[in-house]
Amino acid sequence: MKKTIYGLLALSLLAWLLPVIALVPEWDIWVWRKQLIYWTGLASFLLMTLVMLLAIRPRWLEKPLAGLDKMYRLHKWAGITAVGLAVAHYGLKLAKGPMLLVFAEAAKGERTKTFLEIFRSSAKDLGEWSVWIFAIMIAVALWQRFPYHIWRYVHKALAVFYLIAVYHGIVLAPAEWWLQPSGLLIGAASILGTYCAILSLSGRIGQRNSHKGAVLAVRELNSDTFEVVCQLDKQWQHTPGQFAFITFNRLEGPHPFTIASADQGDGQIRFAIKALGDYTRKLGQNIEIGQPVTVEGPYGYFNLPEAQNNSRQIWVAAGIGATPFIAWLEGLQNDPQAAPQASLYYCVNNEHEAVFAERLQQLCTKLPSIELHIHLSQRDGYLTPERLFEGATKDTKVWFCGPSAFSDKLKQGMQQLGMQPDNFHHELFQMR
């Protein structure tokens, strides 16, 4: 994630600085202010374009970015960085007044004028207002308690402000840039980002990957967890460990859930859903058998690992995080020889929460290389990294799905125990 953001920042820096690097020694404070206004604007715009590209969920980016969950994390931090640079961009404009108290006003050079000059005033005003509105909307988008069904419309509206940023950038970019790398970047980014914004505003994101279907069954697993089976068209295919976006209600929109079953080639998929928010708490009571659904996907690269030199792997399924592992185990039922040597820890607080224990035991019966451990924290105590990784080597590979706090503890423990952090593979639960 950091490499992508830093790479775009470096690209913008090179495109901005290379054409004028010979003139840098001659710049005074006012030229530096002007040039930094240009660079912060260019860098912010490129990151905004990345945000728009990631928002349309392009399948071709999933593999290089290690899955859609990682893409959404990049989407989030690219947006935050873009807003920070946009605020700095506008802040440098506002800095002129205070700077005049210290420095003498610079002589104004002659600006090259183009046919876009008539739009200059409106581009400035719209750009200034959109910076603050964009910042407020990003803050709302990051507020986890903000209702999702409202949040998604607020989030979609960001595409409008991106189009304003396109107008602002094209009109106010220095005329000489259009014959330099900076202008080429603005032009290419504007075309790509505008396409993504139109796709978002027209409601066509994920349309090519969507499948129509209906609810076949709904089964309550305990007081806050239930299972939904959906019948989709026969064209549906997925790999165990992937997730999909399900739309039960058009006004509510799609929500991501891990697919808790292997692909049997009949278009049937199963989801296990836990009440973790306002939407999921009410969902189980509102779903009816025969109800139409739309499933978009599949997405994700939390794939079943291959066996490697008989080295034992560690799989950790915490609570509802058992779902991808159930899909893995189902996918191995007809080919037990393909199963790696692994210790699977199913971690919950107590027996009431262990809704997948029986299913996991049934599946592991046919897979002798998988050693299942049912860990009840109220009975067995907290599963610390020291207990979990006892006997592990620095090269032991770990697959985890569960709450982020537990994930962070295990990653920190691996580092403290001298294990390789790169061997920790996990799904990111938070999609915003």
In this prediction, residue 145 carries a pLDDT of 63
pLDDT band for position 149 (50/70/90)? low
Q: Are residues 263 and 284 in the same domain?
A: yes
Q: Are residues 142 and 54 in the same domain?
A: yes
Q: Are residues 290 and 322 in the same domain?
A: no
User: Does residue 307 lie within any of the structural domains?
Assistant: no
At a CB cut-off of 8 Å and minimum separation 6, what does 162 contact? 48, 49, 51, 52, 193, 197
* Residue for token pair 């994920």: 206
Of 257, 201, 264, 191, nearest to 232 by C-alpha is 264
Is the Cβ–Cβ distance between 350 and 321 less than 8 Å?
A: no
User: Does residue 431 lie within any of the structural domains?
Assistant: no
At a CB cut-off of 8 Å and minimum separation 6, what does 351 contact? 357, 376
User: Does residue 308 lie within any of the structural domains?
Assistant: no
Q: Are residues 20 and 90 in the same domain?
A: yes
Query: Rounded to an integer, what distance in angstroms lies between the CA atom of residue 342 and that of residue 355?
Result: 21
User: Does residue 70 lie within any of the structural domains?
Assistant: yes
For residues 59-67, give the mean pLDDT.
Answer: 90
In this prediction, residue 260 carries a pLDDT of 96
Cα Rg for the chain, rounded, in angstroms?
A: 26
Identify the domain boundary among 201, 230, 249: 201
Q: How many C-beta atoms lie closer than 10 Å to residue 227's C-beta?
A: 19
Q: Are residues 162 and 225 in the same domain?
A: no
Provide the domain limits for residue 213: 207-299
pLDDT band for position 32 (50/70/90)? very high
pLDDT tens digits for range 200-251: 999 898 888 999 999 999 999 988 899 999 999 988 999 999 999 999 988 7
Q: How many C-beta atoms lie closer than 10 Å to residue 98's C-beta?
A: 9
Range of lowest pLDDT (99-108, 266-275, 299-308, 333-342): 99-108
Looking up residue 339, the CATH number of its domain turns out to be 3.40.50.80
In this prediction, residue 424 carries a pLDDT of 94
In this prediction, residue 402 carries a pLDDT of 92
Q: Are residues 228 and 176 in the same domain?
A: no
Most confident of 51-55, 96-100, 118-122, 129-133: 51-55
pTM for this model (two decimals): 0.88
User: Does residue 352 lie within any of the structural domains?
Assistant: yes
Tokens of 54: 């990631």
